[in-house]
Structure 1
Amino acid sequence: MEFVILPDHPAADGVSARLPEEYRKNTIRHRSGRPWLVGNWSADAAVCVQAGPSKLVLFGAAHTTEPELPALLAKVRTVRELDRIVDRTEGSFHLVASVDGFVRAQGSLSGARELFSTSCAGITVAANRPSALGELRRLTLAEDQLAMHLLAFTPPWPLSERSVWREVDSLPFAHYLSLRPDGTAEPVRWWTPPEPELPVDAAAPEFREALVAAVAARAGTSPAIGADLSGGMDSTSLCFLAAGQGGRLVTVRRRLMDPMNCDDSVADRAAADLPAAEHIVLDKDTASPYYDSVDRDDLATDEPPPFIAVTSHMEDVARIMASHGVTRHLQGHGSDELAATGTAHANAMAQRSLLGSLGMIRAMRARRRWSLATTLRVVRAFPPYAEWLQRSADALLSPPEIESEVGWEPTPRLPSWASREAAALVQETMRDTAATKPQPMSSIPAHHEILRCIRLNGWIIRFANTLGERFGVSFEAPFLDDRVVETALSVRLEDRYVAGRHKPVLAAALRGTVPDYVLDRTTKSHFTMDTYDGRKRNLPRMREICEESRLADLGLIGREGLRRALSGIMPDPMHIGPLEKTMACEAWLRSLPTKIGPKPR
């Protein structure tokens, strides 16, 4: 699904005419008759409402009482007043409205539904994908932002929000885009993180209600719904919630290669407790190996993807779901992040009450084997965000620390194979950004870290959907929905951590609906053996990519450094994450319509 949003301006007709025919299968017009929404979407992908001169369209998984929408819209006099409709609509969606010639366009807090904009013919134009904007003007690669994608984890905020295309602006977090009749536009803040004030007894029912509604937004009107059934607390809980919606449930899971993993036994038991569902299990003989897609050159994505190792597996899931009549597939992304109680959470607790947090900090120190120096860094106040970003730029090329990272975000690190040019670009960009004194997403470091991870998961879902759309399947993550995120952030910090318990808020919310053996889990399996096996199988293909590296052609990595990282059968654990990012960038560069060569020197 692609759509372009145009202001109520005389130039809109000419801009719309520039779009290829496949982008003009659907057209919705302003009251003036000028084109407003132009794109390619199916009838069931959008909810369209009109009340007098105002129009509203919801794209995606939106659950609302449709007869109520016209009444709500009829009361709206300015685009700002649309907040009440946003608050009363469940799910994950794009909202686009035209009110008296003014347009409001927004996506989701997580970025699973994102918007981008550019200028064309003297007006600002927005779209849900940069590729649609690329049909209107020539886009050029921003090498400095591409270099940022080589960092372990993600680029630090707000660099994580920037597009790799120089002419494209991403809509800032928690903002909507206001397009005026004169063709200009500005982002407007519509949401701020709540204060963590709710005790768990009050928050649990609200969290349950929000999560049930999020699942209903996907499953409520579908004859069949798909879901991961990994055995983990997140996806397994979603399966039980989806089973209560009345539609046919189809689950899929991948058996881990590690014989000591504990997820499979829980998944087997859950499957037995969901006898009406159809359960599909992939094993080492039927599941695509990790890194099976490293040499892809057909990734239909507008930015370097967040992962490449499980691309083939995601396509397998989409293909299987499509063959079973499923168009929406649930995943548990975001639950771990909403329940996060790492160093940032310990710091927040220490800042509120050092004495009251000592028990938690002692337990975390013992479990993570912190030194006294690390423990002291955890409990003392973090510097202002801009100062932390400046320090991170200065330490960019320092060797990684063995102990836990302590700060607003994981410390940015470039891989050993990054070139000096790439290091200089990243360092300069981070310093320039720090000089603008950027504010964090929340003044509470623990909430900033949660929102950073929520944005990362939104990026993952956005990419997954470029894979699933080939099969007519949408990947959905209910834990990333706006109301679910907001409710989770409202919980008191001291109630988010209970020694010996895993995700106590989720457990309290779903007790009685999800079996206790799922909610009381304290263990979690990993894909380490699958990752190492896939790397070993596909090492020859990775080495070929190294010799033909597009990143090396651009001067961003050194082939010799990457060769060393790929030289041994047993990989350096420190290279696993950075290698994933590098290979994802390589696949993306190979998938671009035209080859991008080295920049002029």
Structure 2
Amino acid sequence: MRWSAGWFGQSKRSRAPRGGEPVPVLQSAWTVGWPGGGVRAVGDGRAELAVIGECGADTDQLWRALDTVRSRDWRALTTWPGSYLAVARCGEALAVIGDLSEQHPVYWRPERSGVWWSTSATALAALDGAPVDTVSLAARMAFGQPDVLGTRSLFRTVNRVPTGHLLLITPERTAAVRYEPAEAEPVVDLSRAAPTVRAALTAAVATRLGDLPVSADLAGLDSTTLVCLAAQRTQVTAMTFADERLRDDDVAYATRTAAAVPGVSYHAVPGSPDTVYYNGLDDLGSLPVTDAPNAYVVTASIKRAVLDAVIERQTAGVHFTGAGGDAVLSAPSSYVSDLLRSGQRLRAWQHAQAHARLRHTTALTVLRRARPASRSTLTEAWSQLAAELRRPPRPWTPQAQQPVAWTPLLATAAWMAPDMRHQLAAALDTAAADHLDAPSTLAAWSDRQDLARVGADTAGWSEIARTGYGVELAAPFLDNEVVRACLAVPAEQRAAPGRYKPLLAEAFTRTDVVPDFVTKRVTKGGFNALSYAGLRENAAVLRDLFGPASRLAAAGLITDAPVADMLTRAATGQPTAQGALHLAVSAEVWLRQVDTAMTSWWEVNSRAVAA
């Protein structure tokens, strides 16, 4: 696994990451698994700056940025194209700055004479064998929102830097400090934002292009846009997963796009009996170790089929994916709650009517679902949620039929033991009391949480691509400046009913970059058929995974009866909480991996010992 770490304190440390390479210029900082070109640093004695990852700043820009470091304008260090970690030192202050989408998360743990920081919570836990924080893991499973418990990580004694914050270490304190506003400032109309989105996305793609071969997914509007942008500069090998069970029109659009865009070599990847959800879970050794539970363990066989097809046609290079596009270009219909909150009743009614037509329901039903969230704040909602956890679980109903919520309570919460639900409720009460900078709108909160969840999962997908194929995954929609440009547009404009991803269409219509028939597309493929097929074909594997040896069951994070009932429903094709099952599967796999991964992170730092 790729990771970075560092020590900032009064004394040298006797340990260093196993196989780590010292970061140039910075003292006591290392990277593991990063190629040389992915680590760059500058310094003049008074200030130091390192960027780790895919950063679009050239050497001159990095040197000029030392003035920014001296002025401690930390946010300005996050505005270059690409996906990277920034580490900056000025005097006795050190800032470690991850990205907005959690592809480069930051963790820390204090010691008596200093602070360890890292992009891997597991590595910091391995310093002394700190155990998993089961309550924090329960929160991940029950809510699906990474920031609910703030700085609490998945390991005891290891702290997490929440989304939009940086780690700032000074002689006076070590803390997570916000560098990104909780809500977009200023709000920008969609038509005015479109050129900025186009420029940011173009730069994000260009930053990843070099001498390596380029491949890409070619399916929906998001990935198609990336293919078109990359093909302006280089040859692109484009892939569509084309399992006949999907019954969508991705292949038709992909074929038409490849014919219209020069520089695109197109290939459809046929499905097979093995390319279904949950395949391969009987051999956990074939899955890469990730720093947190990762959703892509569920779909690994499908991702591998595409990467197999890429490697058959070219050497390992860069593979573009549209991951994150849904999170920044669209918005859930929960923004209707914000319209009600702000008194825009007529506008809320109009949007409710449009959403009702799409979902074959009534506008009153849409408004009834939206109204409770419009009457509460985030912290009030958490207090109400804590009270709900202290009561017996209610019968399962699909999320689409439940009231809109700041933090939805997922079906996994109903699978937990009563004691675990009570511990989670207590943690939620504490989080509500401690949360000081909550956004005023539900859309602003949920947008950031969706983004962080997708980004963290994409980091896990990157591990699959890199460890199994030597392929670098590129997800430009998750770049900081792309995120900022998109989320500056109000949710009701990004998700306007009757138009599919209007922000991306507005950004590229009549530009000769993306064909007009693509920007006018209103359909989107889905994988439900492969999910249900995987549930049927791997039912025995899933029962074994959650059986007597289950780590989740041992911790009280699942109980036998509701899980058995859910697996029975799923295997017979009945409606079930598939998203919740994905969370549980990925958590179970991760817990089993943690058992074997805690001994290989650190080694004696011979230089420090000699000193």
TM-score, length-normalised on structure 2? 0.87
2:269 pairs with 282, 300, 313, which one? 282
Bigger drift between 191-200 and 577-586 goes to 191-200
Distance in 2 between residues matched to 1:296 and 1:438, nearest whole Å: 44
- Pairwise CA RMSD: 2.7
| Superposition pairs of residues 389-468 of structure 1, within 5 angstroms | 389-396=382-389, 397-401=393-397, 403-414=401-412, 416-437=414-435, 439-440=437-438, 442-468=439-465
Q: Match of 2:226?
A: 238
One-letter amino acid of the counterpart of residue 236, structure 1: T
Distance in 1 between residues matched to 2:77 and 2:430, nearest whole Å: 38
Distance in 2 between residues matched to 1:27 and 1:423, nearest whole Å: 43
Alignment pair present for 1:61 and 2:59: no
Q: Match of 2:557?
A: 556
| Superposition pairs of residues 121-520 of structure 1, within 5 angstroms | 122-151=113-142, 154-155=144-145, 157-159=147-149, 162-180=152-170, 182=171, 184-192=173-181, 193-195=183-185, 197-219=187-209, 221-230=210-219, 232-244=220-232, 246-258=233-245, 260-274=247-261, 276-285=263-272, 288-298=275-285, 299-318=288-307, 320-321=309-310, 324-350=314-340, 351=342, 353-368=344-359, 369-370=361-362, 372=364, 374-379=366-371, 381-396=374-389, 397-401=393-397, 403-414=401-412, 416-437=414-435, 439-440=437-438, 442-470=439-467, 471-492=469-490, 495-511=493-509, 512=511, 513-520=513-520
Decide whether aligned partners of structure 1 residues 117 and 327 sit closer, same or farther in structure 2, where only a CA change above 3 A counts: farther
1:106 pairs with 76, 92, 97, which one? 97
The Cα shift of 1:146 comes to 2.2
The Cα shift of 1:426 comes to 2.4
Bigger drift between 368-377 and 129-138 goes to 368-377
The Cα offsets for residues 144-191 of structure 1, whole Å up to 9 and x where unpaired, read as: 12222332x6047423763210121111221111223x4952222211
Distance in 2 between residues matched to 1:285 and 1:573, nearest whole Å: 24
Q: Match of 1:86?
A: 78
Distance in 1 between residues matched to 2:256 and 2:431, nearest whole Å: 50
Decide whether aligned partners of structure 1 residues 337 and 224 sit closer, same or farther in structure 2, where only a CA change above 3 A counts: same
Q: Match of 2:34?
A: 41
One-letter amino acid of the counterpart of residue 305, structure 1: N
Q: Match of 1:599?
A: none
Which secondary structure state, in structure 2, belongs to the residue aligned with residue 466 of structure 1? Answer: helix
The Cα shift of 1:412 comes to 3.7
The Cα shift of 1:62 comes to 0.8
The Cα shift of 1:493 comes to 5.0
Q: Match of 2:545?
A: 545
Q: Match of 1:581?
A: 583
Which secondary structure state, in structure 2, belongs to the residue aligned with residue 111 of structure 1? Answer: coil
Which secondary structure state, in structure 2, belongs to the residue aligned with residue 147 of structure 1? Answer: helix
Q: Match of 1:70?
A: 63
- Contact 1:208–1:509 under 8 Å retained in 2: yes
Bigger drift between 284-293 and 500-509 goes to 284-293
- Contact 1:382–1:408 under 8 Å retained in 2: no
Q: Match of 2:566?
A: 565
User: Which blocks of at least 5 consecutive residues in structure 1 are unaligned?
Assistant: 597-601
- Contact 1:387–1:434 under 8 Å retained in 2: yes
Bigger drift between 59-68 and 368-377 goes to 368-377
Distance in 1 between residues matched to 2:297 and 2:403, nearest whole Å: 25
Decide whether aligned partners of structure 1 residues 122 and 540 sit closer, same or farther in structure 2, where only a CA change above 3 A counts: same
- Contact 1:208–1:510 under 8 Å retained in 2: yes
- Contact 2:40–2:52 under 8 Å retained in 1: yes
The Cα offsets for residues 272-321 of structure 1, whole Å up to 9 and x where unpaired, read as: 23453333322123863321132343341122223432023334444554
Runs of 4+ in 1 over 6 A off after TM superposition: none
The Cα shift of 1:212 comes to 0.7
The Cα shift of 1:19 comes to 2.5
- Contact 1:175–1:189 under 8 Å retained in 2: yes
The Cα shift of 1:10 comes to 3.3
Distance in 1 between residues matched to 2:184 and 2:413, nearest whole Å: 37
Decide whether aligned partners of structure 1 residues 174 and 499 sit closer, same or farther in structure 2, where only a CA change above 3 A counts: closer
Distance in 1 between residues matched to 2:31 and 2:112, nearest whole Å: 16
Q: Match of 2:606?
A: none
The Cα shift of 1:494 comes to 5.2
Which secondary structure state, in structure 2, belongs to the residue aligned with residue 574 of structure 1? Answer: coil
- Contact 2:150–2:431 under 8 Å retained in 1: no
Aligned length: 580
Which secondary structure state, in structure 1, belongs to the residue aligned with residue 323 of structure 2? Answer: coil
TM-score, length-normalised on structure 1? 0.89
Which secondary structure state, in structure 2, belongs to the residue aligned with residue 295 of structure 1? Answer: coil
One-letter amino acid of the counterpart of residue 465, structure 1: S
Which secondary structure state, in structure 2, belongs to the residue aligned with residue 57 of structure 1? Answer: strand
The Cα offsets for residues 500-532 of structure 1, whole Å up to 9 and x where unpaired, read as: 211111100011221122111112221111111
Identity of aligned residues (%): 25
User: Which blocks of at least 5 consecutive residues in structure 2 are unaligned?
Assistant: 599-611
